[in-house]
Amino acid sequence: HALHSDPNCVFCKIVAGAIPALRVFEDADVLAFLDVGPLSEGHALAIPKEHFPTLEDMPADRFALVASRLPRIADAVRRAVGAQGCNLLLNVGREAGQEVPHLHWHIIPRVAGDKLGYRWNASTYPPGRGEEVRQAVKDALEA
Ligand code: AMP
């Protein structure tokens, strides 16, 4: 079937071959290519070929399709650049840093001693608040 595509979307244009990208993996449903603004050598993006702006637009089976390719792609990227690890990052929504509204996984190779950093500032729940939040999530799952 014809995959849904957005003519104004930069990643859809890459899928269509209308703008260039350094492709590292491709099959019928998934494309991975090097990020033009790499955080480290090998930084790649893995996307569904079909246009889904963000997570809430995406059926679970389409999400799983992309996720199922990640172990192989991420391991190849990591080994290709001699990295020990990688961050697999999904920015969902503008507030979370998503700038391109075509859902994409970042594959960011990490080497010992690199200067990328990672730690976010963790907080704690005041007494009782964790239980309230848990209930709110359970209610949302039922809604
Ligand atoms: P995000 O902020 O999570 O939406 O990430 C968007 C990423 O897409 C950034 O890391 C950009 O460097 C990358 N990017 C934007 N346009 C292109 C492009 N034409 N080719 C490759 N990577 C791109």
What are 101's two structure tokens? 């509204």
State whether the beta carbon of 35 lies less than 6 angstroms from ligand 1.
yes
Residue 3 is predicted with a pLDDT of 78
In this structure, which amino acid lies at residue 89? L
Average pLDDT (36-60) is: 96
Residue 92: its pLDDT value, please? 96
Please report, for residues 33, 132, 139, the alpha-carbon distance to residue 36 in angstroms, rounded to integers and kept in the order given: 9, 42, 41
- Of the pLDDT bands very low, low, confident and very high (cuts 50, 70, 90), residue 1 is low
Does position 2 have pLDDT exceeding 70, yes or no?
no
**Ligand 1 centroid to residue 106 C-alpha, Å:** 9
Does residue 98's CB lie within 6 angstroms of at least one atom of ligand 1?
A: yes
Q: DSSP assignment, residue 71?
A: H
Q: What is the pLDDT of residues 95-123, one digit of tens each?
A: 999 999 999 999 999 999 999 988 899 99
CA angle 83, 87, 92 (to 5 degrees): 155
For the segment 26-31, the average pLDDT, to the nearest whole number, is: 97
Annotation marks residue 106 as catalytic: no
Average pLDDT, the chain: 96
Strand partners, 28: none
Q: Is the pLDDT of residue 45 over 80?
A: yes
- Give me ligand 1 centre to Cα 77, in Å: 17
